Structure formats: structure tokens, C-alpha cells
Chains A and B, each alone.
Chain A
Amino acid sequence: MFRFAVGRALQAVPLLLVVSLLVFALIHAVPGGPLSLYLDNPNVRPQDIERLRKALGLDRSLAEQYLAWLTSFVRGDWGYSFADGRPVIERIAERVPATLQLVGVSTLAAVVLALLTALFGAQHKGADRASMVVAVAGISLPVFWFGLVLQLLLANWLGWLPSSGRTSFDGGGVGDRVAHLVMPAGVLALAHGAGWMLYLRGSLRTTFATPLAGAARARGIGETQILLKHALRLSLLPFVTVVLLDASIMASGAVVTESVFAWPGIGSLFTEALAKRDYTVLMAFLMCASMAVVLLSFVADVTVHALDPRTRQST
């Protein structure tokens, strides 16, 4: 088990390196380099740009720059934001809790939604058809449009929920915070839960068709029991893997939701930085998001390997 984990961890390193290369190449593909923002500004003289270029080390070769950037990134020095001059790591760290809250709540809601609909649908044909329709609709939904429509409906026309932000101006208690959380978390939960619904339902259907289920039925075990005790146990592990991977991707899908609902997390930090062409923040965001995906997939792999004996046979 330990050997497997170490092996997997070592495999993750080249993966992260490739990702860092991609991110670096992208930012430096800007015509004019990272200082292109200043090129348009008539107040900035060519001499100033040259000075900045030397100061930021942009006159060195690309390979040197990449290594320098990579080593400082690993050491926790993520540079300074072009927008307000503060350390990038600070700007990201202060926004992470809000995103964690949003992603955490919506992941939970989506998991519950997927489990309930899959379990219910396995027993009632009608509910199954209905939930499949909702699921396919959910994965086809343009999240930004759905968010805008919900805002229009629930906040502007009906006034049931606040339209944006994390809290009201004058603070507000738990109820206020919950009210602000409902729409963004709901939108995210539907968008991702839909995919999980489809996945789990397909997985359960496959298990149901196996001889395992047939044998259990022959022994006289009721359908519900088969569903809960046998089929779900087999499907649960891959489902958890899918959820873990998707949750990390949700952090970037939250870019859209956070922007529409003005939720003060790293997603809206991304869109702000994009508008201001704040490349240091953008690079750090991409690296963090990719690291989160790699880390979570590592965790998922190791968990599956530890809990599912079948995977250990073929190392």
C-alpha cells in the first residue's frame, strides 16, 4: 500500500511539471510578454518598460525565467499582484475560505441529490425517467445563463432571496448567510450533481445486471436490500472517485458562478484579475487549481487502492 502511494506520488511530480510548463508557456505567449499591459499605456515610456523588464528578469532566456519562476513558486513566493502590489499568495489565501464554503456546500448537496435520485430511480421507473431528463438538462445548462435567470426570478421578481454577495451590508446572522448561499450553491450543485446522477445510475444499472444481483434475488433478498447493501457498495467507490475529481474541477467551475453572484471567492478573483490582465495572479490561480486536481486524484487513487481489494491484484 505504501509502495503504491509512493509510486503514485512520484508519478504526480512529472505531471505537475508538465502543467507548470503549460501555464508558463501560455503567459509568455502574450505578444509583448507579461508587460504588455503597459505597452498600451501612453504614459509609460519605452525606457520605463526596459527598466521594468530588467528588474523583473524578463530579459533573461525563457528557460532561465521558467526555472526561476518554478523555484520561487515551490518556495511559496508567487510574486506580486500587478493590480494592487500585494503578494499574490495573500490575495489568493484570503479568498479561499469563501470558495471552500461554496464548493463544500454544493458538493454535499450534489452528492445527496445524486444518491437520492439514483436510489429512488432504481426502484421506480417513472422517477428514473424524470431524473434522467433532469440530469441531461443539468449537464447541458449554461451555468451563467441559469444563474442570471434564477437571479431574475428569485431575487428580482419574487424577492425571496438576495441576488448576490456573501452577506448583506449590515452583517446579518446565520439566516442571512444561508439565504445568500442558496442560489450559488444550488446552481453549482445542479450543474455538477447532474453528471454524478447519470454516472451513479449507469453504474448501478451495470451492477444490477450482473450475476451478483441475480444470485441475491434467487436467495430471496428483497430489491431494496440488494440495492443498498450490494449494488451501492460496489458503485460507491468509483462514485467517490468521480466526486473527488469533480469537486476540484468545481473550484474552477465556480469561476462562472462566483462571478454571476458576486461571491467573494477565488473564482471572482480570477475574473477580476483577467479583466486587469494581472498575470501573476492568473498564473498562480492556474497552478493552484491544477495542483488541487492532481492532489485530489492522487487521494482518490490511493483510497480506491486501499479500500477495493480488486485493484490490488493487478499492480
Chain B
Amino acid sequence: MNANSGAISTTSRRSQTTLRAFVGRYPLLPSVALLALLLAAALAPLVAPYAVDGLDLNHRRAAPSVSHWFGTDEIGRDLFTRVLFGARISLAIGLISAAVSAIIGVVVGATAGYAGRWVDALLMRFTDAMLSVPRLPLLMIAAAVLSPSVLLLIVLVGVLGWMETARVIRSEVQSVRARDFVSAAQSIGASSSRILLRHILPAVMPSATVAVTLAVGRGILLESAMSFFGVGVQPPTASWGNMLYQAQSTMSSEPWLGVFPGAFIFVTVLCCNLLGDRLSRDQRSSRT
């Protein structure tokens, strides 16, 4: 019996392992863009043209030019450099909070889907309650109350992002639980935890991957919205969101200060959503 039954693409074993098949599964442009961004963010200290807090006092409030690709801010810091360093914070928050959401979501969803009955009802009611509270206002209040460090911010965003994942995983687990290999395992006396870990979780991995990809985009949007209102990442640490916060008042005189960071938020989240959408479509088509 193939342990991957139905969960991954049904192309033959041989082509599954070739690079072409691997690459063909992912939409080219968004994936390349995301990888390039991740690389640039990781290597920011090496790639950036200026030091992150370097001041070019002769070129303050300068429009984009050859020496300063994205222009400079009011104290002469190069915007392109700041955007690169801001990418580190924003991407880190997006990725790690998505991981946190994924873990919580998988645990809650799998428990609800597998246990059924009152455990399921209880967990789903709790999930509904969490979804009823508007997320951004709640996060903003929590951040205003707690004045979080970047780490705590990641935890906050992660703790409010698991609900969608939980729902998806729950319905996946419910459908997998009805499959033959699960009842076969149960009939030979496998314990519930073994069935969950060895059989069910691997089968829901693809859905979890899609959910995580979308959660990254959501996390980035949430963090930047919070920073935009001044309750997220605090200056001088640069994040795309708080760069917009500082650029608000000068949008008409120095538009580049707001346009570029926001454009990066947009493009990053767009790539995440395109990737997630493509992954989920591939899953659905391989299942029919």
C-alpha cells in the first residue's frame, strides 16, 4: 500500500523525483520572487548598499535616484537599505507566526476531527468564539496593552491565526479517518496516537502546507497593520509597517517613503497567496 495514497500528485514515482516535476508543481514567478526576497533579507547586511543606520546628511528627503534607488528619509537614511532590513523583520514575523498558527491549528483541528463528538463540538465552539472577535482590533489592543517585543508580537499574531488552519485540518482529518487504511490500522490494534502520527498527519500535510502559506501572508498583513498604527514593531527597528507609519504625514511631499515599503508588503503577500492558491488547486486536481 502506498503510504502517500491520494495525498500527493499521482504522477509516477519516477517523474515525481525528477527536478522538472518538482519545479512544475510551483508557479514560477511567485516562488522565484519569494525566494529572492528571502535571500535578500537574509543577506541584508551584505547586500544593502548602505549601513542600516547610516546617515547621508547631504541627501536628506531625496527622491529616488541612481545613488539612492528608493530615495532617502528626513534624516538621510537610504530607503532601499531600510526596506531590505525591514524585510528581515516582516518576513520573520510572517514565517514564524505562521509556524505557530500551524502547530496550534493542526493540534486543535486533528484532535477535533479525530476524537469527534463532544470534544469536536467543544473545540469548534471555541474556534467559532475566537473567530467572532475581530482580529485586528483585538491584536491592536493586546499590543497596546503589552508593548510587545518582536518575539511576543510573533506569538500574538500566531495565537490569533490558527482558526482557519484548524477548520481545514479538522475536515481533512474527518475525511481521512473514514478511509480504509485507518480502519485497517485500528483493527490490528494500533493505538490512537500511533494512527494520528503515522497515518493521519502525513495525509493532511498538503492541506497544512497550503494553510501555512496563506497564514504567512496573513501574518505579514496583520503585523504591518499593527505597526502602521504604532502598536507593532517600534522604531528605530524597521519593519515595512512602521515605515508606513512614519511616512503617513509626509505622503504628499515624500511619497516614496510610503509607496515602496507598502509595495513590498503587497508583492510579498501576493506571492504567498498565489503560491498557496496554486498548491491547493494542485491538491484538488490530484484528488479527483
Contacts and interface: CB of A to CB of B under 8 A. Distances in A.
Interface of A: 11, 14-15, 18-19, 22-23, 26-27, 29-31, 136-137, 139-146, 148-149, 151-152, 156, 249, 251-253, 255-256, 259, 270-271, 274-275, 277, 282, 285-286, 289-290, 293-294, 297
A289 B269 contact: no
A contact patch SS: helix
Contacts of B131: 293
B145 A23 contact: no
Given A148-B251, A259-B229, A18 B129 contact: yes
B133 A22 contact: yes
Given A145-B265, A274-B140, A274-B231, A19 B134 contact: no
B255 A152 contact: yes
B251 to A, nearest CB: 5
A142 B265 contact: yes
Interface stretch (B51-59, B79-87, B162-170, B220-228): B220-228
B132 A19 contact: yes
Interface of B: 125-126, 128-138, 140-142, 144-146, 217, 221, 224-225, 228-231, 244, 248, 251-252, 255, 258-259, 261-263, 265-266, 269-270, 272-274, 277
A136 B229 contact: no
A18 B248 contact: no
A23 B255 CA distance: 38
Contacts of A15: 125, 128-129, 132
A106 to B, nearest CB: 16
A249 B137 CA distance: 11
Given A145-B265, A149-B259, A249-B134, A27 B225 contact: no
Contact of A252 (B129, B137, B261, B272): B137
Contacts of B145: 26-27, 29-30
Nearest to B133: A290
A14 B269 contact: no
A148 B262 contact: yes
A274 B260 CA distance: 27
A253 B248 CA distance: 19
Contacts of B133: 19, 22-23, 286, 289-290, 293
Contacts of B252: 152, 156
Nearest to B142: A26
A251 B133 CA distance: 12
A10 B112 CA distance: 22
Contact of B248 (A14, A26, A148): A148
Contact of B134 (A143, A277, A290): A290
Contacts of B230: 275
Contacts of A277: 144
A142 B269 CA distance: 9
Given A145-B266, A290-B134, 4 more contacts: A31-B146, A149-B259, A252-B136, A270-B137
A70 to B, nearest CB: 15
B265 A19 contact: no
B228 A144 contact: yes
A140 B266 contact: yes
A28 to B, nearest CB: 9
